Structure 1
């Protein structure tokens, strides 16, 4: 028996080899870029920590200067009083020496003025330092988003590399000997020997494919789950002979190409199934490999000139020595399938909704309209869509059939309407407010929850995880404040946003935030309608709207604090997103999330299903300002955005910004006080 070396397997197809090298170069290049960006991010973190420490020192020095200012002011007043006393005494005694009092007062005045100058210089130094800190933070956010985006690209490249490695081509030469049965003809023995030789060749071919996977250590333990197949492109008998003892020996040369169920690649690489969404259904958790060898031709023949084109499903079979393939221990080859008596039955599924997801026996098969072939027998069918009650059925599939599923919309969450107070002089404005999204206020119940990086996938500023209690229920806008709503505020007050008054608004260009003077909430750099979230607004712009709305409704509106925001966004879950730990596809508007707006623009508010509390867009769309504590200089935004990676749209992700920062990916929503 002789097996072609691995070098032969690879060198047969130069194009394939080139593709494998290119795949590896792509993955390696991305990994190198990730390493580089990670180093830049870590360096920025160190620089930021240094600046924050320096700012803390400057603040302490400022406090000392301010404390000294009070002392110097007291000394100046005392010196002045002393000098005035000396002047009064000088009237009665012209020979009195008052130089010491004058010197003391002069020194007190100089020291007091110097201290005031020192305070002014210290404030200028702190302001300059704050600008540096703001720039470093924005740079860090950019680096972080770039880093996470590269990880998205890496996952995609790894999947594509593995797929190409499974589908490589090559030629193997295999030698096989069997004992002819006394009851079979020489032709039958020859046919059986060649079938077993072919089976051995496909097994060896798959072994070599697995052995030479770049990520073999990760994939090999899951070999039975790969659904690996081999397509025989051509085969011929190099030589064959019968021996005098009734043995038949055959030497086969077989050219093959590998194949794999591409939808299972993500499971093999421990990746989110969304990276394999374009390949079809993900891997079922209870998948069992097929332990038979099947052939697509109606018969299996070999000759020196005839080529065969067959597909062989390869399972993980134990290696057996040639002597085991004897009359005493024959290897069973399944009979060739009769397509007329196939056990597979066609099933077509349709539903009354768009963008649903079909599960058959717990495995996702994509969206309707769907046509697939299933084994005869019982199957559990489920069709899901967020916001709808799932369609479920147990089907005894015996013949081809079509199911038309009707999904019923779930009841809307409890909503409390905003009631405008009677204000005769402002009646037109109050009536306008009632027509906006502020009329959709959901009640968030009281409760206790874990806040922070529960699953260990977050940033340093999300730790440690702490338990927080919301003692009382509160109301929150179900959607982000829209362009139309902000327009009503501006029309009523004549308010000018900070972007309109100074330097415009930031947007991303090639992964970097760029300031554009012409950008503002009316013109954010992408097309928008009145139902889009209002962006390019600073923290103060959001607060100004909240103050106006409070005055118009007679109820107190404000930005949510971080605890309230995360509690409402989690909606009773401890997962990364309201629906689970994987971002999925087209469930939210964030970078690489599979929506029509991803990496293009914000989406109309409420374009995706709400969470369990009835809140829309707590994942992606635009970052949302939260309320800062008294004396706090920076503000936190939450929720991710349309041009930020999915890993930054988790419910616990925090980005810290200066209050005057504005970008076309930052908006807000409000809470209403009890």
Structure 2
């Protein structure tokens, strides 16, 4: 018996789990396991260094307490020395009139007081040296910790990519099943028709069982199974042959088929199945805006499967990609699933996002083939008014959207004219260097609001800012810092022979030749200034205050996070996913990612008019008087996206400097 050539692709729906299929790709699993093992090792290492840091900090506190006691004792010993000297001098005066007076006791007292005072001074010097050594150890541990934090986040990124690739390979593997199926022939159909129907239903049974096996044997079945109807999983019949078949005397037809099949999946949906950020699936395209219908019909029409020559016993498959079945309340059910029209969407901006019936299709230019019907179209970009329209799509159509920049009612930009002193040097500066954004007074929740943060982001605390303040809309640029240096002759710590750190092989490495003028990459005047320490940033703020006649300083952490959040409660100003090309951080999809900072203001501002609060360079914040360390905020061009969250904090020594750390200032009222 021969079965004519066919193409057979079936959309997956929610099904019961079936027989065991071959095991998952061992290499993919080994890769995921290796990354998970390395993650565990690095996490243990981070925990160890966190414990070491706590001990060092406790020891520094103990040494500092002892130093204060020694200084207090120094005052007492100085007083005792002076009293002993006065007493001995008094006896010397009396000795002139009465040589028999014994001055030995007074002399011994003074000698002891001098010795005690001298010893206490030596103890103070030793204590100061011990504290300096302790702080040096603390600095090293902190640098190691922020290195480990970045390494951990990078490993998490690698793990996400490896999990997606493993799932894709598990969905698309090939296998062979043998199935047996028996049907009752209808009185109204010929034996040939009954035979054809039996073989059709046998193939249907095989494909259903195969896709059940695929899901049952996914390594992360427990994660994926609840979202099974969203997978867009498919089965392609590669080849099939009839092992045995025949009719019984009761008019039943039995067929035993051996079917070789290959799985397929809508790869752009893998991230959703694994609850991962969509950027891990960006190479696979944009998720389809369709839901896959549960469809295993009882029979197939002749237009779907055709069996003709009853002699042959093999199937050769010509691959034809099937159109998915679209379910939307705006499309009539009577429309054929394979009748589609082309819709092209364009806009006047880059890095926008297209939504069709509320589902993201990525950025323009977008071309999709969809069934005729009504569609709600929306095109968005941060900083622009969204474009919205509703189409009754009957034929191929192109939509050219024009997005208009959004007015920022909460942001007031103050452009200040620089105060020129007689020796001021004119330099070309960025258009944004003199811009300030007014940050309104308000209340907000500070810290890890989503549960994805680091331990030092907890607990969440409500903070109140009673007064508005002004903050520079961009990070301080190279041009602006050069004006300060040329006006004052200031030399940064890096330029005094100490050098500047850069990131190499997962750790900061010192380069003596690096400075704000030579950070290790090509920069221009509108790049953020880097390789500046906390004290360098404060020196710039003091100079600018004198130039402007107003008080400028580094923002404290509360001011920085409040301004960076701009009224939001999400991880980033635009939501809880980093997206692609929305900021400059490691693996964020920008042209500068993992290469260098971007020129300031290359991405859309947040709701308060601030640029680059996500990524580009870490920014120094003002430390409290009781702090020995300083916190940097905002992430950087070579750090993982998860460290560019608005609540992320890294503690560093005030004299640390790197080609990924800069700053911006606030102006006090």
Confirm or deny a common fold (TM above 0.5).
Answer: yes
| 2:444 equivalent to 1:439 | no
1:61 equivalent among 58, 63, 66: 66
1:647 equivalent among 642, 653, 656: 642
| 2:578 equivalent to 1:583 | yes
Partner of 2:281: 276
For the residues of structure 1 that align with 2:429 and 2:478, how far apart are their CA atoms?
Answer: 15
Asked if the contact 1:202/1:314 (under 8 Å) is kept, the reply is: no
1:367 equivalent among 350, 363, 367: 363
2:307 equivalent among 289, 301, 304: 301
What secondary structure does 1:599 align onto?
A: coil
Asked if the contact 2:470/2:668 (under 8 Å) is kept, the reply is: yes
Partner of 2:390: 394
Report Cα offsets for 1:119-155 as digits up to 9, x if no partner.
0000000000000000000000000100111001001
Per-residue deviation, 1:529: 0.9
Per-residue deviation, 1:212: 0.6
Asked if the contact 2:22/2:217 (under 8 Å) is kept, the reply is: no
Unaligned segments of structure 2, at least 5 residues = 1-17, 325-333
For the residues of structure 2 that align with 1:162 and 1:666, how far apart are their CA atoms?
Answer: 38
Partner of 2:8: none
Per-residue deviation, 1:311: 6.8
Matches within 5 A, 1:108-123: 108-123=113-128
| 2:270 equivalent to 1:262 | no
Report Cα offsets for 1:439-467 as digits up to 9, x if no partner.
21111111111111122221222121111
Partner of 2:22: 10
Partner of 1:378: 374
Report Cα offsets for 1:493-541 as digits up to 9, x if no partner.
1111100103200011100110000111111111111111000000111
Partner of 1:291: 295
Asked if the contact 2:347/2:364 (under 8 Å) is kept, the reply is: yes
Asked if the contact 1:349/1:371 (under 8 Å) is kept, the reply is: yes
* Structure-2 change in CA distance of 1:299 and 1:196 (3 Å): closer
For the residues of structure 1 that align with 2:301 and 2:509, how far apart are their CA atoms?
Answer: 60
Structure 1 moving runs of 4+ over 6 Å? 293-298, 311-315
Asked if the contact 2:139/2:653 (under 8 Å) is kept, the reply is: yes
Per-residue deviation, 1:411: 2.9
Per-residue deviation, 1:416: 0.9
For the residues of structure 2 that align with 1:582 and 1:25, how far apart are their CA atoms?
Answer: 28
What secondary structure does 1:198 align onto?
A: helix
Partner of 2:559: 564
| 2:590 equivalent to 1:592 | no
Partner of 2:422: 425
Asked if the contact 1:583/1:646 (under 8 Å) is kept, the reply is: yes
For the residues of structure 2 that align with 1:296 and 1:386, how far apart are their CA atoms?
Answer: 51
Q: TM-score, normalised by structure 1?
A: 0.91
For the residues of structure 2 that align with 1:296 and 1:180, how far apart are their CA atoms?
Answer: 17
Asked if the contact 2:554/2:664 (under 8 Å) is kept, the reply is: yes
For the residues of structure 2 that align with 1:152 and 1:281, how far apart are their CA atoms?
Answer: 19
Asked if the contact 1:230/1:258 (under 8 Å) is kept, the reply is: yes
* Structure-2 change in CA distance of 1:523 and 1:312 (3 Å): closer
| 2:253 equivalent to 1:248 | yes
Partner of 1:660: 655
1:178 equivalent among 183, 186, 189: 183
For the residues of structure 2 that align with 1:433 and 1:545, how far apart are their CA atoms?
Answer: 18
For the residues of structure 1 that align with 2:512 and 2:60, how far apart are their CA atoms?
Answer: 30
Partner of 1:233: 238
Of Structure 1 and Structure 2, the greater helix share is in 1
What secondary structure does 1:133 align onto?
A: helix
Higher relative contact order, structure no. (Cα contacts within 8 Å, ≥ 6 residues apart): 2
1:633 equivalent among 587, 607, 628: 628
* Structure-2 change in CA distance of 1:232 and 1:301 (3 Å): same
Per-residue deviation, 1:197: 0.6
Per-residue deviation, 1:118: 0.2
What secondary structure does 2:453 align onto?
A: coil
Partner of 1:332: none
Partner of 2:399: 403
Matches within 5 A, 1:23-38: 23-38=28-43
| 2:126 equivalent to 1:100 | no
Asked if the contact 2:242/2:255 (under 8 Å) is kept, the reply is: yes
1:144 equivalent among 134, 143, 149: 149
* Structure-2 change in CA distance of 1:160 and 1:529 (3 Å): same
Per-residue deviation, 1:223: 1.3
Asked if the contact 1:141/1:655 (under 8 Å) is kept, the reply is: yes
What secondary structure does 1:217 align onto?
A: helix
378-387 vs 156-165, greater mean Cα deviation: 378-387
* Structure-2 change in CA distance of 1:657 and 1:510 (3 Å): same
What secondary structure does 1:441 align onto?
A: strand
Q: TM-score, normalised by structure 2?
A: 0.91
146-155 vs 395-404, greater mean Cα deviation: 395-404
Partner of 2:193: 188
What secondary structure does 1:437 align onto?
A: coil
What secondary structure does 2:316 align onto?
A: coil
Asked if the contact 2:427/2:479 (under 8 Å) is kept, the reply is: no
Paired residues, what number? 636
216-225 vs 139-148, greater mean Cα deviation: 216-225
Partner of 1:327: none
What secondary structure does 1:220 align onto?
A: helix
Asked if the contact 2:19/2:212 (under 8 Å) is kept, the reply is: no
Per-residue deviation, 1:306: 3.5
* Structure-2 change in CA distance of 1:78 and 1:214 (3 Å): same
| 2:153 equivalent to 1:156 | no
